[in-house]
Structure 1
Amino acid sequence: MLAIESIHVAIGSVQVLRGLSLAVAPNSMTGLIGRNGAGKTTLLRSVMGHLAPTQGRIVFDGQDLARLPKHGRAAAGIGYMPEDRGLVPELTVEENILVPLWATGARNAKERLDFVYGVLPELAAMRERRALLLSGGQQKLVALGRALGVGTRLLLLDEPFEGVAPALSMRLGEVIAGLRGSALSVLIAQSDLNHSRKLVDVEYVIERGANVAAEAHAGAA
């Protein structure tokens, strides 16, 4: 589904990724673990087209993503939940979920919105509230809902449990676990896998922008 092939990425004069490789199999959950500053967010931003590798390739379903414009990721079925949530404060919950669907001209926006509310019914209850009035944990749920809206094939989740109260963290874990067995592939980037070790099939470790190890979880499937 997703293949990262020895990519090198620099931000300004700083080399952040140094030949990193990983693979996300179809219908699987993959963990990427590394300390803050290891390069996890840089990897996800590279997949989304915000940063361009100087070497290596990012291949999604057989297609080199370098050939796609940034907005082409959402149209291809890739949903992204950034660590900082990235919501538009003045927009409502529902509008924030719909933004990437509007941007791609999706004709099934109502269907995708209904799907999100089916997975996260608490968002339906707050659909008219502006994002700036939500707690940090509630904003995480909205960011996940927005990613689910367009992420029909692949979800990229950057520190989904970071800075979230235990009850909401548990809820996020339930939602992500509920995606197992669906048509989605999921890549979860975290500083540790305490919240998701039982979820992932394979975990990769990143340190200073390079691979350290990959471990298969036979019992996760």
Structure 2
Amino acid sequence: MLTVNDLSLSIQKVPILDGVALSIAEGETVGLIGRNGAGKTTLMRAIMGLIDRESGELIFKGRKLHAEKAHARAGLGIGYLPEDRRLVPHFTVEENILVPLWASKKTADLSRLKWVYDLMPEIGRFADRKALTLSGGQQKLVALARALVVGTDLLLLDEPFEGVAPALAQHLMEVISSLKDENLSVLISESDYTHSKEVVDKVYVIERGSINQMENINE
């Protein structure tokens, strides 16, 4: 589904990623583990085209993803949950969920939206509320719903459990675990795999912008 080959980039001339390589197969859930500042968020932002690479390749379903404009990547079937959620405060929950469809100029798939509401019924119950009225945990759920509505093939989840109560973290993990039935490919970043260990198929460890090892969890 996704292959990252020898990816390197710098921000303001400071090297951040150095020869990063990883792969995610169709239907596979992969962990990206590293301390704060290790390069997890930068890697996800590079995959989404929000940061320009200096060298290396991003191959998605056999096509050169790095050749695609950033705003077009959601339309390719890639959903992204950023660490800081990035909701539009004065938009309703449903408007926030539909933003990536509007950005990619795709007609809203109401069946996909209904599927998201069925998967997380609490989202449907406050669909008409403004995002700014939600708790941090509720906003995290909305950001996940936004990623899911376009992420028909690949989901990038950057620190989805950070800053949420244990009960909500468990609920998020249950939702993510259920995605295996949908044959979605998922990349989850965490500082460790406390939450995701039971669902990931393999884990990449990133340190100082480099992938140092890969562990097969199920072996």
Q: Report the TM range for the smaller structure's normalisation.
A: over 0.9
Please tell me the residue identity of whatever aligns with 1:124.
Answer: G
CA distance in 1, matches of 2:151, 2:143: 12
Q: What does 1:205-216 align with in structure 2 at a 5 Å threshold?
A: 205-216=205-216
User: What is the Cα deviation at residue 55 of structure 1?
Assistant: 1.1
Runs of 4 or more consecutive aligned structure 1 residues displaced over 3 Å after TM superposition: none
Secondary structure of 1:196's aligned partner: coil
| Structure 1, gaps ≥5 residues long | none
CA distance in 1, matches of 2:133, 2:42: 29
CA distance in 2, matches of 1:52, 1:8: 10
Tell me the alpha carbon deviations over residues 99-153 of structure 1, each in whole angstroms, 9 at most, x when there is no partner: 1112222234212211110111100000011111100000000000000000000
CA distance in 2, matches of 1:172, 1:146: 14
1:84 maps to: 84
Please tell me the residue identity of whatever aligns with 1:179.
Answer: L
Q: What does 1:24-39 align with in structure 2 at a 5 Å threshold?
A: 24-39=24-39
1:165 maps to: 165
Report the RMSD for the aligned CA atoms in angstroms.
0.9
Secondary structure of 2:160's aligned partner: coil
Residues 98 and 108, structure 2, Cα contact 8 Å, conserved in 1: no
Number of corresponding residues: 219
CA distance in 2, matches of 1:24, 1:184: 10
Residues 92 and 129, structure 1, Cα contact 8 Å, conserved in 2: yes
CA distance in 2, matches of 1:133, 1:159: 22
**If the length of structure 1 is used for normalisation, what is the TM-score?**
0.97
Residues 78 and 152, structure 2, Cα contact 8 Å, conserved in 1: yes
CA distance in 1, matches of 2:103, 2:208: 35
1:57 maps to: 57
CA distance in 2, matches of 1:90, 1:108: 20
Q: Which moved more, 1:64-73 or 1:42-51?
A: 64-73
Residues 205 and 214, structure 2, Cα contact 8 Å, conserved in 1: yes
**If the length of structure 2 is used for normalisation, what is the TM-score?**
0.98
Please tell me the residue identity of whatever aligns with 1:140.
Answer: K
Residues 113 and 149, structure 2, Cα contact 8 Å, conserved in 1: yes
Please tell me the residue identity of whatever aligns with 1:158.
Answer: D
2:189 maps to: 189
CA distance in 1, matches of 2:187, 2:158: 8
CA distance in 2, matches of 1:175, 1:218: 20
Please tell me the residue identity of whatever aligns with 1:51.
Answer: I
CA distance in 2, matches of 1:140, 1:68: 27
User: What is the Cα deviation at residue 181 of structure 1?
Assistant: 2.8
Tell me the alpha carbon deviations over residues 71-104 of structure 1, each in whole angstroms, 9 at most, x when there is no partner: 1111100000000000000001000001111222
Secondary structure of 1:5's aligned partner: strand
CA distance in 1, matches of 2:182, 2:8: 32
CA distance in 1, matches of 2:169, 2:108: 30
Q: What does 1:108-187 align with in structure 2 at a 5 Å threshold?
A: 108-187=108-187
